[in-house]
A and B are shown apart, each in its own frame.
Chain A
């Protein structure tokens, strides 16, 4: 299945070469979890602070079991803030 992965701020370096504007389309195994998908890209788990699937927060304790669906959008940030 295909998902959209968005890696922002310092995590942008882990996006594949095909990525544009911090966004890439990725082929992943059916029911691939958040953790497995990020691992496929080599994103260090300890740098994944804010993880959103279709805009909804996924807590650290759920990331290894949260299965993605076809066409989901996974967006991830290191610790960031502003205001």
Chain B
């Protein structure tokens, strides 16, 4: 069995632990990780709970394939009620932390309550204890925390997932960073962790994992790896150029949200894209990109390792930032760059590095800075309020000032930490917030890629590309090309992507495998790893069940169909350039069909028949 079969429940208020068996009946219906932990959350918390109160819970969850020899088996997720959205939040990360948790003999950790003073959890196989964080790691960055914990316990093999100062100080888009540069990045899961006075989870495991049928599993895993290696995207494109190859693709397509979505193309987008990361710099003749990097068990290796130009203004007097660091991924480069109009690749790499160091989601951070820039240029925010920073589009200096201030919870950074929705409301122009359900949307303009409008509007964790990445079909032709400017057929496309994605996210593997794998490749691996009747059909059914479970939680939390919408700018202001010139997003044409396909009422509520069919 790929499951360890155990959950660790940590009552932070009382400082006590409880070991429970994993609910295998639920695992048979919700698979693992995102799905299974969502089931636990839904069963255990009041959907109307204040996300930052002790009554919210925070779950670290693995999937059945996490820590096995399956490719990309590094994944774990953090599930909670999100502070940006008030909706269910599930954020997924790679690196080495997830497998280590499984190796220690645990499938899941559920944190309850709030510690009376800052602590971190130290988990060495079956031995759990809460360690005082005051005077050691509280107030420290993610990087300092990881190093300090490993030294304190004299074990460099300990894997650490922690929050930085941003999470401690309440920035609403704080993330949880593990292995220095990998993050459960979206939806403010790090903010919830900070509200619980929980600084870090440090794990050392020596038990390994087992699978149900070793021979069948080896055969399925070997076949799966051959598919990834033979596919041009997962075998060559992603390892060489990373996700950043998309910068020029999306800009040429006319769907690169620029200047807080005032524009859909950036004049100098090439300067911050994947190809630019390979080019030798004028200053030192070296490229920004040092090499690629893989998470545990990954045979793709899309991660980026970069070095910032040592003569650049961000680091020239700070040698600690001249070392190799986590490089730019596409979504981060877009938010920090195109959204803000900053075309300085080195400044973006530095800002991304600070996001990793202090534990912030670069998508929400960058998009919020973009909104602040528009407020500033419109006179709603003044230079006095920004502490003297000229917060204008295109200013690398302003971006860098904001990332440092937000990371430390200082000055105007406290305002940026509110996120775009609350910032724009506070400064008198809520329509400038490019968010859905309070979460900033990522790097695809729904005027130029129509299906992404429906994706953002209906995403259960607020605007997000990782809930149904229809860009794959609408732009990249995977698995087959559809017209990005067309609304017909997009309701079905979005539903299909949402259900399949929920299954990938619940299995313990990386969603990027889906550029080469279908569920036909995943099903035999899951079936050989653990008990249960796992086929393509049952995985898809589990995916649909998970989507409806999340939706029902959100409805019970108070969200309605009125929240399934987009910022007015995308529905009223036509794109000015590119193939989508003259177009807005046609959400009103797609949404009713989507509700119908889902088996929901015209008000977006799952019908009793649908809930019954899915055994919810």
Contact = CB atoms under 8 A, between A and B. Distances in A.
B281 interface: no
Max chain B C-beta neighbours (<10 A), residue from A9, A10, A22, A59? A9
Interface string A50-68: 1010111101000000000
Given A81-B233, A81-B237, A81-B478, A52 B245 contact: no
Interface residues of B, number: 45
A9 B237 contact: yes
A62 B275 CA distance: 28
B613 interface: no
A83 B455 CA distance: 14
Contacts of A59: 481
Contacts of A12: 275
Contact of A82 (B236, B242, B481): B242
Given A22-B270, A49-B477, A83-B331, A78 B237 contact: yes
Contact of B249 (A21, A50, A56): A50
Nearest to B246: A82
A82 B330 contact: yes
Please tell me the size bucket of the interface on A.
20 to 34
A78 B241 CA distance: 12
Nearest to B234: A81
A80 B237 CA distance: 5
A75 B252 CA distance: 8
Interface of A: 6, 8-10, 12, 21-23, 49-50, 52, 54-57, 59, 73, 75, 77-83
Q: Which 6 A-B pairs have the closest CB atoms?
A: A82-B243, A79-B232, A82-B246, A55-B579, A80-B237, A81-B515
21 contacts: A6-B252, A8-B275, A9-B245, A9-B274, A10-B240, A21-B275, A50-B249, A54-B579, A57-B484, A75-B252, A77-B249, A79-B478, A80-B233, A81-B237, A81-B246, A81-B472, A81-B476, A81-B512, A83-B330, A83-B466, A83-B471
Interface of B: 231-233, 236-238, 240-246, 248-249, 252-254, 270-271, 274-276, 279, 302, 329-331, 465-466, 469, 471-472, 475-478, 481, 483-484, 511-512, 515, 578-579
Given A78-B236, A82-B329, 20 more contacts: A8-B245, A9-B241, A10-B236, A12-B275, A21-B270, A21-B275, A21-B279, A49-B232, A50-B249, A55-B253, A75-B252, A79-B232, A80-B476, A81-B238, A82-B243, A82-B246, A82-B302, A83-B243, A83-B246, A83-B469
